[in-house]
Amino acid sequence: MGRSSWYSWNGSATQGNDTTIRTLLTSSTGSGALQSVICRDPSIDLSSRQPSAQDAAILWDTFLQRVHPTWKVIFDQELRQMRNMVTGYDGYTGLPFPDHAFLFAMYLISVTALSDEECIELLERPKQAMLVEFRLLCEQALAGSDLLGSSELRTIQAAMLYIVSHGA
């Protein structure tokens, strides 16, 4: 393998072996901060973990009303197309990882936009339980989408929503 240069903030180059961000994050000396979005657990079936049609509709509406006006990571027309596309899937079987990632990121950030009381009232589940579930599923979908090696727009949009949900 060849050698690569890494540039510090001050612009000076440092020489080293070929190293990728993925290698740094998964190595024993790396931070491992993104481990859950790098290594997918194949035993988790994302298609079967989508919310019910009723809950999905509530989360879509929450996203459109509370999140999308502030964080426009996707065009309105694309969002409508995505909503129409996923309602056409039979149980979301065959949905590509980037689309799963976007949906779970959208559900995750929608739950963060709801109060504890709204979660119980509208979705009949505790907010914290939904945050944990959708975070795990989003991470698994991002891992399946090859987050660190992808240039797929839907994956990047999902990653943005995932990151923003952590600050909400």
Question: Read out DSSP for 60-73?
Answer: HHHIIIIITTT---
pLDDT computed for residue 42 by the predictor: 87
pLDDT computed for residue 101 by the predictor: 95
pLDDT computed for residue 148 by the predictor: 85
Tokens 């990151």 correspond to 163
pLDDT computed for residue 22 by the predictor: 44
Domain that holds residue 69: 37-167
Task: Tell me: do 21 and 43 sit in the same domain.
Answer: no
Task: Tell me: do 28 and 57 sit in the same domain.
Answer: no
Tell me the average pLDDT of the chain.
80
Task: Tell me: do 80 and 155 sit in the same domain.
Answer: yes
pLDDT computed for residue 6 by the predictor: 43
- Tallying the residues shown for the chain, one arrives at 168
pLDDT computed for residue 65 by the predictor: 94
Tell me the C-alpha distance between 140 and 105, whole Å.
11
Tokens 């779970």 correspond to 104
Task: Tell me: do 2 and 83 sit in the same domain.
Answer: no
Task: Tell me: do 6 and 70 sit in the same domain.
Answer: no
Ranges of the chain with pLDDT below 50? 1-32
Task: Tell me: do 24 and 94 sit in the same domain.
Answer: no
Task: Tell me: do 49 and 115 sit in the same domain.
Answer: yes
Its pTM stands at 0.76
Tell me the C-alpha distance between 114 and 81, whole Å.
24
